[in-house]
Chain A
Amino acid sequence: MDLERPGGRGANQLRPMDCSRNVLSRAHGSASCSHGETRVLAAVYGPKAGTKKNENPEKACIEVIWKPKTGQIGKTEKEFEMILKRSLQNMCLLNVHPNTTTSIVIQVVHDDGSLLPCALHAACAALVDAGIPLKYLAVATCCCLTESGQIILDPSKLEEESMKAFVCLAFPSSVQSVCTEGATKDGGEPAPHGIITSLTHGLMTVTEYFQCLEQARAAITPLSKILKRKMQSQPASYQS
């Protein structure tokens, strides 16, 4: 029994995505990403000298600052900062610039559901724009579970609030969009795979979780194609 989604979207249909790089003039790298109505702006400064107090000086340090649209900075913002930082730490090549700090500032412009995936895409694009060396690019989606057990991708804010549970998943982007042969090559490094980040809200059974995982995994290849296409070199868009 299919759920009626506003705008006539299918259960596996994602909202129109847009990603543009180099939107700010002062930042070393910047990107703006939008999933439907959700819009996030990301800026990267770095690498800057020195690491924070408790960080390992033999590696580069990633710092994430999450700015909500209105209101004071509270626990949710700190949680997002921590999640993004850990996801991006895995992505960046930390040994290239030891004893440096790279700051990523995320500004939420509008939140209409699936905020974390949008922020992750914006952060990746901003890092690419800044020229920070990365191991791979991440793609992320949000999956939610309806009362009837149906799984839908990329929910809007209203849908998220009325769902039984939802999960945000981030994966390394598909290698298939780059290599013509399969991901397994003799003598080459194995392509990164697996789940980078998984964040659940609400109650779901283990089987339902794995079903969500499968559906989200199916979306990796098309998403990575779209993202890579958008991230290709564009003229600077901050010139007025």
Chain B
Amino acid sequence: MEQRSANTWRMTVNEKKFIETALLSDVRIDGRGPFDYRNVTIQFGSEDGSSEVQLGQTRVMGFVTSQLVQPYRDRPNEGTLAIFTEFSPMADPSFESGRPGEHAVELGRIIDRGLRESQAVDMESLCVFAGKWVWSIRIDLHIIDNGGNLVDAANIAALAALLTFRRPECTLEGEDGQEVKILPPEEREPVPLILHHLPIAVTFAFIGSEIRLVLDPTHFEEAVMGGKLTATLNANGDVCAIQKAGGEGVIQSVIVQCLRIASVKAADITGKIKNAVELYNTGRALRKIERYTDSVDVSAAVWKGDENIQKEMDKLRLETTDGIISQSDGKDIKIHSSEKDATSLADKRPSSSIIGPSSWDPYSRGVNAEELKASLASRVSSTPYTMDVSVSSTPPMKPKDTTMDRPIKDADTITSLPQEPPAAGDVQSITSLPQEPPAAGDVQSKAKTLKDAVKPKSLRKKKTFIK
């Protein structure tokens, strides 16, 4: 026992006094203002559903896994969610391995309340066979480094991991349809979880005898504080949970002030999480393309377009994949992007040509960047549920040739494309859509609307090449 207490770190009286005195002039020891958050960095691991969040010096890793289990008796058509927090001994010299201490349990409960009771994770979509088989989602949070404010960091890690997790698809089999067979990712693309909103935890510490409020305490401030308040809100301003377990008493106006500040910060952090997840998803889609083009023969026809056009295509490809990802239909991504990728990765792979309609003439004319933009933009603007004016008048195109044996014919996104200008004939054929010479007039007169549909360069997402 003496050994353990000898190993814990203690705060000295001078340090305490210094922190409290500095706060009287609204100065914190790391130079922040009282209501400034530290930098949040969200990174993802190589697997789906693994995240690593760094909030200042606090580091938390989140892992999400799923399993098929029997549902609870009283909720036969809902999945289950379980959160396991692990205060790793590497985070702090006072953390012990073994059973979770009270802080670990409290942290787990706060995050659990934010996710489960606010119905952030959709449980009914996890049901496979009511009463028999449901998906059980397990979130493991590992606290790696304790730099203070573990709740917020762990919450962000849990949300980031949930947003990037993909659960496998499964089918019902057997004579009575009661056996469940889990499909491997090569057969069916795993699906993401449905999250209705993102509950963000924001922690405040009350320091000193005059109850100075600070946001996002570091572990020095946590050692000095008299009380703590965690408010879990989402970007819509809904309060999902408030936790103030003992500590110094504070007046009501302070609590209301906390909630107001928390709602601003919650919106901010929600934006950051969403950006990070989007970046990850585009990277993931690109990786998927490379995986699928491995198994399918891709044309080796060299796409000699110059650098700029390549970049434009990639930029737009990223946008289109983004647009399609939001439909959560993996098949579309695979087919659509791999066609474009077929051209960009063409020189690396041997071929049996899938891009081989007889009307294809690769190098007769260079591709005009403007027209390329326009045609690809029209693809962007014509996502299945929103059809632009320019598109509605044209009938869906059916691929003429059947030189491709891949299931491109039934790809809805491609067949619903508008007619494309004839000068961009090369572009069309590169994307393996043989077209009859389209009514040039149609698109030319609407060139203005199509161009307007293209995002100006400044707003386009940065291209990220991830191998």
B90 A24 Cβ-Cβ under 8 A: yes
Closest to B140 in A: A70
Chain B residue contacts of A67, Cβ below 8 A: 86, 88, 97, 142
- In the complex with contacts A24-B145, A109-B61, A65-B89 CB distance below 8 A: yes
CB within 8 Å for A69 and B63 given contacts A26-B145, A105-B90: yes
Is the Cβ of A27 less than 8 Å from the Cβ of B50?
Answer: no
Distance between Cα atoms of A41 and B91 in the complex (Å)? 12
- Say which residue of A48, A71, A238 sits within 8 Å of B3 (CB atoms): A48
Min distance, Cβ A238 to any Cβ of chain B, angstroms: 6
With beta carbons under 8 angstroms apart, the residue of B6, B45, B52, B138 that contacts A70 is B138
Which residues of B have CB within 8 Å of A30? 90
Q: Are A70 and B89 in contact (CB under 8 A)?
A: no
What CA separation (Å) do A107 and B91 show in the bound complex?
A: 11
> Could you say which residues of chain B place their CB within 8 Å of the CB of A101?
3
B310 at interface, CB cutoff 8 A: no
Q: How many angstroms from the CA of A25 to the CA of B145 in the assembled complex?
A: 7
Which residues of B lie under 8 Å from residue A239 when comparing CB positions? 57
Whole-angstrom CA separation of A190 from B344 in the bound complex = 57
Distance between A81 CB and nearest chain B CB, rounded to angstroms: 10
Whether the pair A105, B145 counts as a contact (CB closer than 8 A) is no
Shortest Cβ gap from A204 to chain B (Å): 30
Contacts of A110 in B (CB 8 A): 45-47, 50
Partner pick for A240 among B47, B56, B61, CB 8 A cutoff: B56
Q: How many Å from the CB of B48 to the closest CB on chain A?
A: 12
Bin the interface of chain B by size.
Answer: 35 or more
Q: Cβ of A238 and Cβ of B145 under 8 Å apart?
A: yes
Which residue of B56, B65, B86, B147 is within 8 Å of A26 (Cβ)? Answer: B147
* CB nearest to A111 among chain B residues: B47
Taking a contact as CB atoms under 8 Å apart, the answer to whether A109 and B92 are in contact is no
Q: Which residue of B lies closest to A240 (CB)?
A: B39
- Digitize B135-148: 1 where CB-to-A-CB distance is under 8 Å, 0 elsewhere: 00010101011110
- A26/B47 contact (C-beta < 8 A), A65-B97, A109-B61, A240-B41 known: no
Residues of A within 8 A of B295 (CB): none
Residues on the B chain within 8 Å of A37, using CB:
46
Cross-chain contact A240 with B3 (CB below 8 angstroms): no
Cα A87 to Cα B31 in complex, Å, equals 44
Query: Given A70-B63, A240-B57, do A105 and B89 touch, yes or no (CB 8 Å)?
Result: yes
CA distance A30 to B50 in the complex (A): 21
Q: Are A107 and B7 in contact (CB under 8 A)?
A: no
Contacting pair B54 A240 (CB below 8 A): yes
Is A43 positioned at the interface, with any CB of B under 8 Å from its CB?
yes
- The answer, yes or no, to whether A50 is at the interface (CB within 8 Å) is yes
Tell me whether A171 is interfacial, beta carbon within 8 Å.
no
Which residues 232-262 of B have a CB within 8 angstroms of A?
Answer: none
Q: How far is the CA of A27 from the CA of B90 in the complex (A)?
A: 6
Partner of B57, one of A42, A65, A238: A238
Tell whether A146 is near chain B: CB-to-CB under 8 Å: no
**Is B38 an interface position by the 8 A CB rule?**
yes
In the assembled complex, A166 has its CB within 8 A of some CB on chain B: no
Set of chain B residues within 8 Å of A43, measured between Cβ atoms? 89-90
Q: Is the CB of B89 within 8 A of A69?
A: no
Is the Cβ of A26 less than 8 Å from the Cβ of B93? yes
- In the A-B complex, list the 4 residue pairs whose CB atoms are closest, starting with the nearest: A43-B90, A50-B3, A105-B90, A25-B57
16 contacts between A and B (CB under 8 A): A25-B57, A27-B145, A37-B46, A39-B45, A45-B7, A45-B93, A48-B6, A48-B7, A67-B97, A69-B63, A69-B140, A70-B63, A105-B90, A109-B52, A239-B57, A240-B41
Given A39-B45, A69-B63, A110-B47, 16 additional A-B pairs, CB 8 A: A24-B90, A26-B91, A26-B147, A41-B144, A45-B90, A50-B3, A67-B88, A70-B138, A71-B140, A105-B88, A105-B89, A107-B90, A112-B46, A238-B57, A238-B59, A240-B38
Hey, which bits of chain A sit against chain B, CB under 8 A?
Answer: 24-27, 30, 37, 39, 41-43, 45, 48-50, 65, 67, 69-71, 101, 103, 105, 107, 109-110, 112, 238-240
Instruction: Give B contacts to A, CB under 8 Å.
Output: 2-3, 6-7, 38-39, 41, 45-47, 50, 52, 54, 56-57, 59, 61, 63, 65, 84, 86, 88-93, 97, 138, 140, 142, 144-147, 219
